[in-house]
Structure formats: structure tokens, C-alpha cells
């Protein structure tokens, strides 16, 4: 019984010790849990955070509604979240951790795949429709707004009619895997810029690159 309570409180604990809400950030990588999805295009949000954890030297642990990790940059505390709710229910995890850690909406950044952008293209936006992306649609429903920051990572659209699901749930080809090494570095720099330099400067420097 003690172990059950211990596990419960561990999963529900706060991760950030920063008291100033404007110095707290939430970076959400969208994806699906399970080994079968690990290297798929649709899981680019998870993968970005996995690479970021190596770069910033932090690890993930299982918390409520997802895996979470924390790192700090020049006095800012960044909570990274990989929801365990599956893609279509991502909004519940995002809303829970925003409220739990008292993180303002303007300090939230969602990382997602986008078939409407060519492979590797980055587009940071402050608002917009879900574009048919079920993860973004659920976040919109839980936040009751379309005005939240999202980084769209282009995965291309090299698929035939009726093959979209197979494509996004398919794995990267070797050429894409090779190119992703540089793309991950670029996204890591973008995330640091978002935290340290603000949204507008980051958009001007990184959008379309």
C-alpha cells in the first residue's frame, strides 16, 4: 500500500522550483507511445525532445499523463513533456502541466509534424488552425483557443492518394535520417532562442529554414 501511495505522489509532484511564472517554459513534443512509433514521421516531436535531452544533459521520468524532463538556461526553467495519452488526446496533458506548474500560455511551445511543409522546413507560428492534425485539434479544445505557439516540422507529402496515414506512421528513409542530424541541431537552437530571445526574434531567424 505504501508503495502505491509513493508512486502516486511521485507521478503528481511538481517538477519546477521556479516561483516567477514568466521564467517557466513548457516544451511539448507530440507523438505516440510505443516502440512501433519510435522512428516514425508522426513522432518527430518526441524525437526532438529525445535529442534535446542529450544536448542539455537531462533525463525523462514518468509523471502524470506523460514523460517529463527539466533543464535550465540562464535562469529560465524549461519543462519538456512527451504526453503518454497518444497523439489524439495530447491536450489533456498540456493543460494539466500548464496549470500544475503555473506556466503562462505565451511560454508554451508545441512541436509537431506537418505534411504541408517540405522535409525539414521549420515554421514557428503563434496561432492558426489545427490543419487537420488531431494532436493540435485536441490541444485547441483543451486550451479553448487557437492562439498558442507551435513549431511545425515539415515531413513532406511524398505519398499517393489515400496513403497519408501510412506515410506519417511510416519510418524515415535513409536520406532523411542522415539529414535529420543537422535539423535536430537547428531545432535545438530554435528552442533556446524561444526561451532566451523571445518569439518574434526566433520567428525572424528560423522560419522557413
d(CA 57, CA 208): 28
For residue 113, what are the β-bridge partners?
A: 153
The C-alpha cell 517529463 sits at: 68
In whole angstroms, how large is the CA radius of gyration of the chain? 17
Cα 194 to the chain's mean position, in Å? Answer: 13
4 exposed, middle or buried (CB, 10 Å; 0-12, 13-18, 19+)?
exposed
Which of 42, 133, 142, 144 is catalytic? The answer is 42
- Active-site annotation holds for 42: yes
d(CA 138, CA 13): 24
Please identify every residue annotated as catalytic. 42
Amino acid at each position: 500500500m505504501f508503495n502505491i501511495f509513493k508512486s502516486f505522489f511521485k507521478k503528481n509532484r511538481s517538477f519546477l522550483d521556479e516561483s516567477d511564472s514568466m521564467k517557466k517554459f513548457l516544451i511539448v513534443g507530440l507523438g505516440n507511445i510505443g516502440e512501433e512509433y519510435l522512428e516514425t514521421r508522426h513522432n518527430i516531436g518526441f524525437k526532438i525532445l529525445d535529442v534535446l535531452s542529450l544536448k542539455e544533459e537531462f533525463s525523462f521520468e514518468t509523471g502524470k499523463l506523460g514523460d517529463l524532463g527539466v533543464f535550465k538556461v540562464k535562469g529560465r526553467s524549461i519543462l519538456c513533456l512527451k504526453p503518454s495519452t497518444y497523439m489524439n488526446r495530447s491536450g489533456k496533458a498540456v493543460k494539466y502541466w500548464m496549470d500544475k506548474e503555473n506556466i503562462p500560455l505565451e511560454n508554451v511551445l508545441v512541436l509537431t509534424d506537418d505534411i504541408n511543409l517540405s522535409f525539414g522546413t521549420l515554421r514557428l507560428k503563434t496561432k492558426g488552425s489545427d490543419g487537420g492534425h488531431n494532436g493540435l485539434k485536441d490541444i485547441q479544445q483543451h486550451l479553448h483557443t487557437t492562439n498558442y505557439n507551435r513549431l511545425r516540422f515539415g515531413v513532406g507529402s511524398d505519398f499517393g492518394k489515400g496513403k497519408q496515414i501510412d506515410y506519417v506512421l511510416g519510418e524515415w528513409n535513409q536520406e532523411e535520417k542522415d539529414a535529420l542530424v543537422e535539423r535536430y541541431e537547428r531545432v535545438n537552437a530554435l528552442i533556446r532562442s524561444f526561451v532566451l530571445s523571445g518569439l518574434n526574434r526566433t520567428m525572424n531567424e528560423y522560419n522557413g529554414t
